[in-house]
Structure 1
Amino acid sequence: MHQERLTKLRNASPAVLPSLLQCDFGDLRSEVERLQAAGIRALHLDVMDGHFVPNLTYGMPIVAGLRKLTDLPLDVHLMISDPAAYVDDFAAAGADMLTFHIEAVPEPAQLIQQIHSHGIVAGVALNPQTPMEALSGCLDQVDAVLVMSVNAGFGGQAFDPEAVQRLQQLRQSHPELLLEVDGGIKPETIGPCHQAGCDLFVVGSAIFGQDDYAAAVRQLRDAL
């Protein structure tokens, strides 16, 4: 199951992943239908606990609700202090990929095993100010790395161009990894990230801030 899910994400690359944090939660069914009609091949969910990051979002019920609405891969980004306490519940809710932060779990071997035990793709994320060396102990264990191009949990930040160099470094050192970028992704920034070797591009306002999702997604894909 783990390899099947990983292969599905690899086959979708390069893929635009809408960050549902900015969608209309009063009408999730319509939002998912509009995104699928626009050709989206996976969805990104930002889980924040109000502790690891200062914002508070949603948890397992939203993941479970989305699982009932679509068979698209659900990429769940855990911006939380204790991801191990919730892996089992997110697995039961229907997550296909769980990404934790290296800042929250600096020695993640046991957590990665826990994620894999559910047949789920395991990803690790790091913030812009975190040294790349923090990942050195887990790059051979995880399936994916999420390079944050803004600080996790804070909206309205500008894209940090150092993310491009980080993606290049990871692609060269670990060509088998699935690479993802999150923060400030729009037509002007998505191309350089793709050229650096990125596979998955998390997008918020560049889709949900537009009236026509299909046109917005086409513009992003053209920029790729």
Structure 2
Amino acid sequence: MVKAIIAPSLLAGDFAKIGCDCQRMFDCGSDWVHIDVMDGHFVPNITLGPPIISALREAVPRGGKDGKSASFFDCHMMVSNPEQWVPEVARAGGDQYTFHFEATEDPLALVKLIKANGMRAACAIKPGTSVDVLFPLAEYLDMALVMTVEPGFGGQSFMPEMMPKVKTLREKFPHMSIQVDGGLGKETIPQAAEAGANVIVAGTAVFKAQDPAQMIAFLRDTVTTSLQEKGLLTE
């Protein structure tokens, strides 16, 4: 199923009130929230981990407080030895586990482990990694993530030279969910949408917007229009 999905990154929020920011994003119309987990080894930064995911899940239960609202936790694992954290993230309340191809020696086994723990499985590639590595995995993945910045820090500039990777994936796997992460906002979303991305991670652009709900709607509308024009939109 290919549809527009907007996933604000909590990395751009206020860590002193991260639970409130998480709920606020869903209240503003986001489909998912993107939770960046960094271990200080795979990337030179340390951020959120399973205890924070668990606390967020308590604040934002599955289905929301009314049992019907969006509450999907998209966990981007920028960690060495991603196999180690699968059970913990599952127990903490993660819905999707995105590992980096560069961090594992057996990506297919990791995909199977993630699914065995009840989560969706996604694989990310850094800017310097060829998109070809995803081809053998594609049929087993729920999503592919093409990084449009070097992973590790928020607020970086979008790398348009990554768009051919997205275009290649969309042409080769028309029904795959393809996520882009890094530097997405009003100025750069048209390039990502045109290339075929349907899952948009946006941090600063949403959290610093005067009207986050309006920004989320703009991002979604841009992607939806592009998917419609390509004949790819499904509900």
For normalisation by structure 2, the TM-score amounts to 0.85
Contact 1:187 1:223 in 2 (8 A): no
Residue 177 of structure 1: how far off its partner (Å): 1.7
Q: Any stretches of 5+ residues in structure 1 without a counterpart?
A: 1-9
Distance 2:25 2:198 in 1: 19
| Aligned-partner residue type, residue 92 of structure 2 | A
1:50 maps to 40
Distance 1:15 1:44 in 2: 11
1:46 aligned counterpart, secondary structure: strand
Q: Determine if the alignment matches structure 1 residue 205 to structure 2 residue 195.
A: no
2:66 maps to none
Contact 2:155 2:204 in 1 (8 A): no
Identity %: 39
Selected match of 1:19 from 9, 27, 32: 9
1:217 maps to 216
Give CA-to-partner distance per residue, 1:91-139, whole Å, 9 cap, x none: 0011110000011114311111100101211000001111122223322
Q: Determine if the alignment matches structure 1 residue 31 to structure 2 residue 21.
A: yes
Give CA-to-partner distance per residue, 1:58-113, whole Å, 9 cap, x none: 10011111212223110000000111011000000111100000111143111111
Q: Any stretches of 5+ residues in structure 2 without a counterpart?
A: 63-70, 224-235
Give CA-to-partner distance per residue, 1:20-41, whole Å, 9 cap, x none: 0121222233313321221111
**Mean CA deviation greater in 38-47 or 209-218:** 209-218
Distance 1:130 1:66 in 2: 32
| Aligned-partner residue type, residue 46 of structure 2 | L
Gap change, CA 1:106 and 1:173, over 3 Å in 2: farther
Residue 157 of structure 1: how far off its partner (Å): 2.6
1:166 maps to 165
Aligned length: 214
2:103 aligned counterpart, secondary structure: coil
2:139 maps to 140
Q: Determine if the alignment matches structure 1 residue 91 to structure 2 residue 81.
A: no
| Aligned-partner residue type, residue 28 of structure 1 | I
Gap change, CA 1:161 and 1:73, over 3 Å in 2: same
2:227 maps to none
Distance 1:189 1:207 in 2: 13
Contact 2:10 2:21 in 1 (8 A): no
For normalisation by structure 1, the TM-score amounts to 0.89
Contact 1:47 1:59 in 2 (8 A): yes
Give CA-to-partner distance per residue, 1:141-166, whole Å, 9 cap, x none: 22210000011113443211122211
Q: Determine if the alignment matches structure 1 residue 60 to structure 2 residue 50.
A: yes
Distance 1:223 1:197 in 2: 11
Gap change, CA 1:106 and 1:161, over 3 Å in 2: farther
2:99 aligned counterpart, secondary structure: strand
